[in-house]
Amino acid sequence: MTRSLTPILLSLAAATALLAANPCTAQSYTLAEIPVVSPTAINNNGQIGGADPATGDPSGNDPFILSSNGTLTDLGNLGSSCGVYGCRAVALNSLGDAVGLAGTTPGSYKPFLFSNGKITQLAPDSANPLGLNGSDDIVGYFYPTLCDSLGLTHAFVIKNGVFTDLSQPTDPSQPCNIYSEAHGINTSGQIAGASTGSNNPSAGEVASVWQPTGALTFLGVLGTGFESRAFAINDAGQVTGNSYTGDAQGSLHAFLFSNGTMTDIDTFGSIASWAFGINSNGVVVGQVANQPNSMAYHAFVFMGGSMMDLNTLIPAGSGLTIYQANAINDAGDIVAFASSNSDGTVHGVLLKPVAPQITSISPTSGVAGTLVTITGKNFTSKPKACSVTINGKLTKWTTWSNTKIQVQVPSGLALGTGHVVVTAFFQHSKSVAFTVK
């Protein structure tokens, strides 16, 4: 059985907002409800994958893709609606191809690949696809025939139509002594997931990466934890997921694995957190249980060394609590689940980061060392993970607030007119002219 660490979606009560010291965190997001139920993926073109219940059978879900211009594409099914099982597109690439689960007969569902406008059933039937890269390589987990009754899974990859079990046991006569799962694959073919990596079926899974050569690398655990799982990997090979920490509370914390090191990114010190998505800038999104004795869940974004509650970064009065962020693209757009504060109904939402805006600079010219005051908004409250450049060269700042920054003109710049740009968490302002004398 796939022993998912993802919490079962619970009936959510209104939760106390998470509070933390958040460097560079006046970063804000616009919030929009989207007509896709359970959005689980977003690509760099802004397309969103999920499901929509409005096709024929009102209780059934077909996989859907929502384009950046608001057009919904019904990917169809494999013979029937999926009924209450909630079939959906779970992963997208930048070609607009998708993988997920689609209905076959009433109450049944099978794995699919949607490519070139056509939905195709994948084999074997027990495959559960979870990741897709730009080459249409597919990863996930399946139930080996001999292990089906035990509920044990093996990770798989499909490349060029060829299915490969990633967890062949050292003893072929004992196929059920290893279990594993794969969740994400990057451009180079690195696969992130988890594996026992031993012939001990009672051993816990450990976050792992399969290299394109097939070699398996174990990423380890946080602290003295006994189990971990990787949910996503970016093209830089950074991996995110969660791990038990081994503390007295039995905490389960989100991690970021980068440059050979697994780091606990749960700066809230919560009882549980899950990291589900990562973009090319290493920005992570997921879900956190905000207090040790509370069942309330909130969505988070992690960047600049700090975990932030997304509910504190959206416009006030939305009437929604964002409780699980599922994916983030390289533009910083996030898809998530939200719950209505009035009746608890679940909504799919899209969050888009608001870029910093410069309204004026003074003076508009100067020599090296000149103090320049930049006014505007959305600069964020502190400068960590933020910067100002003049003619492309980083400046030294002396004052930084959400609406005002003071920087010194750096030395070594060519004379003439150039541009001032403010960057806050990878979002760039429009440039404003500045003349170096």
Peptide bond into 39 cis (omega under 30): no
Angle at 141 between CA 322 and CA 87, to 5 degrees: 50
Q: Per the domain annotation, does 13 fall within a domain?
A: no
Whether residue 375 lies inside any domain: the answer is yes
Final residue before a domain boundary, out of 315, 336, 353: 353
- The pLDDT of residue 108: 79
**pLDDT one-digit tens code per residue, 354-367:** 999 999 999 999 99
The CATH number covering residue 102 comes to 2.130.10.150
Tell me, yes or no, whether 3 lies in a domain.
no
- For 90-136, the pLDDT digits (tens) are 999 999 999 999 988 766 789 999 999 999 999 999 999 999 999 99
CB 281 within 8 A of CB 241: no
- Residue among 351, 310, 312, 356 nearest 333 (CA): 351
Last residue of a domain, one of 353, 380, 403: 353
- The radius of gyration computed from the CA coordinates of the chain, to the nearest angstrom, equals 23
Do 243 and 386 belong to one domain?
no
Lowest mean pLDDT of 167-171, 373-377, 412-416, 418-422, name the range: 167-171
Q: Are residues 366 and 337 in the same domain?
A: no
Residue range(s) defining the domain that contains residue 396: 357-436
Residues 293 and 194 in one domain: yes
Q: Residue 29: which residues within 8 A CB-CB, separation 6 or more?
A: 310, 313, 314, 334, 351, 352, 353, 354
In the block, tokens 């007119």 appear at 417
Same domain, 265 and 409: no
Boundary (domain end) residue, out of 353, 379, 409 = 353
Whether residue 90 sits in one domain with residue 195: yes
- Same domain for 416 and 332, yes or no, is no
* Same domain assignment for residues 290 and 315: yes
Number of domains comprising the chain: 2
Q: Kindly state the tokens that stand for 31.
A: 């919030």
CATH number at residue 365: 2.60.40.10
Q: What is the pLDDT of residue 79?
A: 81
Q: Are residues 334 and 374 in the same domain?
A: no
Lowest mean per-residue pLDDT among 43-47, 348-352, 379-383: 379-383
pTM of the model: 0.86
- State which amino acid sits at residue 283: V
Q: What is the pLDDT of residues 1-22, one digit of tens each?
A: 333 333 322 222 222 223 233 3
Nearest CA to 49 among 329, 340, 346, 330? 329
Supply the pLDDT for residue 16.
27
Please check whether residues 187 and 318 belong to one and the same domain. yes
pLDDT at 23 over 60: no
Please state, in angstroms and rounded to a whole number, the distance separating the CA atoms of residues 91 and 351. Answer: 18
Residue 49: closest CA among 34, 63, 28: 63
Residues 273 and 377 in one domain: no
